[in-house]
Chains A and B, each alone.
Chain A
Amino acid sequence: MSRAAAAARLLGALALAAAALPVRAAAQKAQWTDVVYVPGTWAGGRIVPRADSLALVMRVDYFSAPPQWRAEMRRTTDGQTLGAPEILVGTGTQALVMTQLGTTPLEQHALGRDPLVRALVVFDQSGRRKGPAAGRITDRGADGAVTRIVYRRAVRNPDFDVKLLDPGNRAGGRTLLASGISAVGDQRSASVVATAGARGVDRVKTPGGDVPVRPDTAAIVRMEHFAVGSVALEAFMRAGGLGPYAATGDSTGRHP
């Protein structure tokens, strides 16, 4: 084989290997959302227990590339809006709380004493998710009464930067926080709203020929400010029996 042919083969092999790497990495990623309810209704900033209704308490967005994972928890204190995220990152069953100053082991942080938070760290030793990929998950107390219902939905073909799972990646953490994970208004970052508009476009091509236009940036500003919150979205999906809210079968015993 000539040197040129050998070099071409080597380059081809390298290109194939390079192309295969992201595919492998993408195949390992998982992303899903748990929306957590307890029996009751919100009244005056408190949950009044009721057996015939569910009160939203938290939403958790999970990002996983085993053995590493990240969980962003947003609580509500009124059932209407979700608060700022509390972020856990982990490797296997080891969880760290991300703070403004760095990371703290979950056991040494106040969050570690919250049974709900501990219950939502749903990873095994290898960092893989425990429990079903999607659907309704019902937790019951010793007396058989429902204590919590989690509606889980998974993102197909997740596409997030695995660097964001790195506890040492402070910038990555800020990036993800700023990105607006699920494209819902109350998570939107104003910083990504660019200030540029279309200034010089005065004609556009259409199948019927060129037509004059006057770009309307003000309409886009209104569009950007029109936010529907994630709580409203959950209520909408629930009312329509969409996504995990269509599930008829329960998965139980999720939290050992």
Chain B
Amino acid sequence: MTRPCRAGAVVCDPMPVVPRAASGRRAAVRTAGAALAAAALLLAAPVAAARAQSLLDRVRQAANVARTLLPISTAKEIEIGRGIAATIAGRFPVSTDAALTRYVNLVGLTVASQAPRPDITYRFAVLETPIVNAYAAPGGYIFITRGSLAMIQSEAELAGVLAHEVGHVNRRHVIEGIRKSDTMREVRNTVDIEGATLDRVVGTGADALFTGLSRGDELEADSLGLEYAAAAGYDPGGLAAFVGRLDQHAGEGPVSEFFATHPKPDERVERLVAIAQREGLSGGVTLEDRYRAIVK
């Protein structure tokens, strides 16, 4: 027989063996114990149910958090981005003006060369619509509209706008939005993003692009755009000049979508100017003549 437990005992028995002579008393104690346990269970049932519900809620919350942590690989990001890009091209036709497309690509690649994502191939295209806007699909598919080009007055402004879009791609803003969306509720593994699920994910991403990303995402893309354009050698005031000009056209049809999907222009301009001053960004080229020679 092991010793009853006591402080310092190395080997002990937490329930000392009861002598045989006490077996009748033991049975009575057992019965009383069972009755007490049953009563306790009955009394505790609502509490237990509430605890179980709470635990279930926590498990659900953890599952939601885990879902937002599901990594989406670059290859999958490109696949989703390609679908979103096709959807954008389905809403507005892509320009076939080779000289203009080449120019926009050259300006875009110049600022993208400052961006730290070696796993992305950036591609730029012009959308034939008078609407003033630009779109960045995941995976590096970036679009600017004819309406925006008509409003832009220099290569530095174009660089600022494209750099802002590159910022969206680099920070995976659309992909992060998709990851947190209800669309991902059914996805246990990103390999599952195929077929109809891929279509729903693409639809969610396209909706986000057309209705506007979060204010935080836009302001972050502003900061990055300013940084990339300035680092590439452009006048860092390009993006602010363009956004400020849009403010003068508030209420006009082609810019209404831009106003509906972006933070207030005056606030953005003020913030961009403050960042440039704080970071000591100045100088750079504007290249109005080169812009006018190609964008007519």
Contacts and interface: CB of A to CB of B under 8 A. Distances in A.
23 contacts: A155-B115, A157-B116, A182-B113, A183-B109, A183-B121, A192-B75, A194-B78, A198-B206, A199-B199, A201-B199, A201-B203, A214-B90, A215-B86, A215-B87, A216-B93, A220-B89, A223-B89, A223-B125, A226-B123, A228-B102, A228-B106, A241-B233, A241-B285
Interface in B253-268: 256-257, 260-261
Given A194-B78, A243-B110, A156 B257 contact: no
Given A207-B212, A213-B91, A240-B285, A196 B118 contact: no
Interface string A229-245: 00011001100111101
Contacts of A33: 113
Contacts of B210: 204-207
A188 B207 CA distance: 29
Interface string B50-69: 00000000000000000000
Interface in B134-177: 140-141, 155
B211 A216 contact: no
A226 B202 CA distance: 23
Contacts of A236: 106, 110
Interface of B: 74-75, 78-79, 82-87, 89-91, 93-94, 98, 101-102, 105-106, 109-110, 112-123, 125, 140-141, 155, 194, 196, 198-200, 202-203, 206-207, 210-212, 227, 231-234, 256-257, 260-261, 284-285, 287, 290
B84 A198 contact: yes
Interface stretch (A2-10, A83-91, A94-102, A173-181): A173-181
A53 to B, nearest CB: 21
A198 B110 contact: no
Nearest to B125: A223
A223 B94 contact: yes
Contacts of A216: 86, 89-90, 93-94
Contacts of B85: 220, 223
A29 to B, nearest CB: 9
Question: A-B pairs with the 10 shortest C-beta distances?
Answer: A200-B199, A207-B260, A198-B83, A242-B233, A194-B79, A219-B89, A213-B90, A216-B89, A215-B86, A219-B94
Contact of A242 (B101, B125, B234): B234
Contacts of A201: 83, 87, 90, 199, 202-203, 206
Report which residue of A182, A206, A233 has the largest number of chain B beta carbons within 10 angstroms of its beta carbon: A206
Contacts of B256: 207-208
A216 B206 CA distance: 13
A233 B109 CA distance: 8
Contacts of A246: 233, 284-285
A32 B105 CA distance: 21
Nearest to A241: B285
Contacts of B122: 183
Contact of A220 (B86, B207, B257): B86
B87 to A, nearest CB: 5
Interface string A148-164: 00000101111110000
A126 interface: no
B82 A197 contact: yes
B233 A245 contact: yes
Nearest to B122: A183
Contact of A226 (B74, B87, B105, B113): B105
A159 B117 CA distance: 6
B79 A242 contact: no
A232 B102 CA distance: 10
A250 interface: no
A183 B140 contact: yes
